[in-house]
Structures are given as C-alpha cells and as structure tokens.
C-alpha cells in the first residue's frame, strides 16, 4: 500500500466529527510574489534558441584632416552579444489509489457505488490540488533561482542540506548560479554582507544599521544603466528588508513606502522599490543548512526587471494541472509538464549584495 499524499494519520476524526475534508484548517503558507512581478517572461521557448543583442557603438569624432591626400577613415564598430535559451523539460506526476486512504478520515469525503475508486472531484482531492498550487509556486522560485546543474549535498562538496534530494535542484542553471559566476569575472559587482560569512546562526544575524549600509552601497555602486532604468528594483531576502525597516524607526517612515501593485506597499531606497521574497529565506533555511550556519542567508539584488528573464513554453503550464481517473490502474492521477530556462540577459548590469 502506498503512502497517502495527504497524511491523515495525524488526525483521529470519526464520521460524526468530520464529513468534509475541507473543514480542516490550513497552516499559513509563505507565498512568493507573482512571477510577473519580478521577472520578464518569454513564452514559446521550447528548443535551444539564440537571441542577439546590439550594444554600444565605438568612439567617433576626431580633428579634421587636412592636406591633399585621401582622408583616413576612422575605425568604427558596434558591439554585439548573444544569449542562448536551453530550456529543460520538467514534470509533476502524482498518483493516488482509493485503497491508500481507505483507513483514514479522508474516506468520509469519498464517493460510493460505481464511482467508488474515482475521487477526482472529492473534497480530499480539492485539498491536494490547493496544496499543490502552493508547492508549484515554490517550485517556480526554486527552479529559476536556486537550481544549479552541478549542485550536490554538503557531504559531497555541495551546499544542499544533508538528506535533500538534489534532483529537485539540478534541472537548469538558475539566477543565483549565473549571478555568482559573474561576480567571479567582475568582483566590483559585489557588495559583501559580512554576516553571511559568520560561523554560527547567531553571528549571522543582520543588524538594522548594517542592512541600511549594505543597501545604500548597493544602490550607489550599481551601474548607471541600472540606476536609471524605469524597471529598476532591489529584490531581497525578508531578513534584509526587515532589518532595513527597523533602521528607519524614528523617522518619517511613511514617506519611504511606494506602491508595487494595487493594495501592496513596500519600502523604497531613494526611488528604488525593495521587493522582499520570504520564499528565499524559507528555502535557504531548509535547503542550505550545514548544521551550524546557513549559506548566504542575506541577499539583495539591484537589477532591472527587464534583465531577469524566464523562458517557458507556456507560463500557464505551471498552473494547468490535468486530473483524471485511470480505470485500468484504479488510480487518480495529477500531471503537469512544460519546459523552462532562466537567463540574466546582461550579466554586466546588476549589483549584488551577498
């Protein structure tokens, strides 16, 4: 017998105490912002595909040439560069049999008679799909930001917490992998957060004053193209945001807020909005813990949204769950699949505090 997708062994309800699984209370789930808020989405990316960019032209304008000979032309060129989408396929596939949950409280929400084994429209299934929707939101952030094709567990020289299955982290090279590689090529794009290198959880705690200093340094050291971009943003861990908010206590903090979307306010530094991503904090705490410290728990990226690109075959693929009952196997199945990749479109145009 397989393990139920939703573990009802923690509950001891009787038929009289619960008739619908949907009566159970949900734990609060940390949800990431909408994908479109911090990424630029390119759809129709199904195969390896190159995109070319035209850059800046060279110098022109010299002293006028005199004399009887032919004037000498000036050398002139326009820089170009390219990126290559290399999308990888992903899938979500979940199976569940009626017999696996027969002895649990979930059975009270099931059908009887000829539809005995088909619980696709049951309250139990509704809860699974609701939970799955939140898991997919986490998957999107984990895929685009934390994936690294060379990642491994700490015991094998990687950064993943012991016991974490690396197959959930090695599909593509996500944004963190790309950003850190660029810092190796150009260390000037880095603002060092000293607390990240500390040896214990306690010593890694970020102080309000330091958070403010790091963010100010991030802002003023960034390339002018980023600082002047209309879509400039600072994406950060909740730890950086909270410490910065504390540093503003005693000031006219209301003037420091800006509207991200209708009904959603956030702090800003100068005119640049701060976008805290609590999912980053949660994932770092769960997946990048060596037992005494976390791997870079405080992070802040100053970049233009236009450059944080995700390539997908279809963005709707992440929410397009197919649910069906297989008569032959007597299983209810849930499936989703698609292709995706992540690219920093211009690695020279960001500033990272880490």
At residue 114, the pLDDT reads 45
Q: In whole angstroms, what is the distance from residue 339 CA to residue 301 CA?
A: 26
Distance of CA 178 to the CA centre of its chain: 13
Backbone angles phi, psi at 135, to 5 degrees: -65, -35
Q: For strands 272-276 and 264-269, give the pairing.
A: antiparallel
Coil vs helix vs strand at 84: strand
Going from the first residue of the chain to its last (354 residues), give the mean pLDDT of each consecutive group of 10, the final group possibly shorter: 67 56 57 77 89 79 85 82 90 80 56 60 76 88 97 97 97 98 97 98 97 97 95 97 92 80 82 94 97 98 96 88 82 89 96 98
State the pLDDT at residue 1. 55
* Strands of the chain, DSSP E: 40-43, 49-57, 78-85, 88-97, 190-191, 232-236, 257-261, 264-269, 272-276, 300-304, 308-312, 322-326, 331-344, 350-353
Under a CB-based contact definition with an 8 Å cutoff, are residues 35 and 140 in contact?
yes
Query: What pLDDT, on the 0 to 100 scale, is given for residue 106?
Result: 55
Question: SS3 breakdown of the chain: % helix, strand, coil, rounded to 5?
Answer: 35, 25, 40
């Amino acid at each position: 017998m397989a393990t139920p997708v939703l573990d009802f062994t923690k509950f001891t309800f009787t038929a009289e105490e619960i008739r619908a699984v949907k009566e159970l209370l949900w734990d609060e789930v940390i949800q990431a912002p909408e994908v479109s808020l911090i990424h630029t989405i390119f759809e129709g990316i199904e195969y390896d595909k190159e995109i070319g960019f035209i850059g800046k032209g060279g110098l022109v304008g010299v002293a006028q040439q005199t004399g009887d000979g032919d004037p000498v032309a000036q050398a002139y060129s326009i820089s170009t560069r390219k990126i290559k989408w290399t999308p990888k396929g992903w899938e979500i596939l979940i199976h569940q049999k009626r017999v696996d949950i027969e002895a649990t409280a979930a059975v009270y929400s099931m059908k009887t008679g000829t539809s005995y084994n088909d619980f696709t429209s049951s309250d139990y299934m509704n809860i699974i799909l609701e939970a799955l929707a939140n898991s997919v939101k986490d998957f999107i952030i984990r895929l685009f930001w934390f994936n690294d094709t060379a990642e491994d567990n700490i015991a094998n020289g990687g950064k993943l917490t012991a016991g974490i299955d690396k197959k959930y982290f090695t599909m593509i090279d996500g944004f963190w992998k790309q950003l850190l590689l660029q810092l190796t090529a150009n260390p000037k794009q880095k603002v060092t957060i000293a607390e990240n290198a500390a040896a214990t959880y306690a010593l890694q705690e970020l102080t309000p004053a330091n958070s403010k200093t790091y963010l100010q340094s991030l802002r003023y050291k960034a390339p002018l193209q980023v600082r002047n971009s209309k879509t400039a943003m600072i994406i950060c861990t909740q730890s950086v945001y909270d410490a910065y908010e504390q540093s503003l206590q005693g000031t006219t903090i209301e003037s420091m807020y800006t509207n991200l979307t209708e009904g959603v306010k956030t702090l800003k530094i100068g005119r640049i909005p701060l976008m805290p991503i609590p999912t980053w904090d949660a994932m770092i705490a769960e997946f990048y813990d060596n037992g005494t410290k976390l791997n870079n728990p405080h992070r802040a990226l100053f970049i233009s949204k236009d450059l944080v690109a995700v390539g997908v075959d279809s963005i709707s693929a992440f929410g397009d769950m197919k649910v069906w009952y297989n008569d032959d196997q007597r299983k209810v199945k849930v499936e989703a699949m698609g292709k995706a990749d992540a690219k920093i479109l211009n690695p020279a145009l960001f500033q990272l505090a880490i």
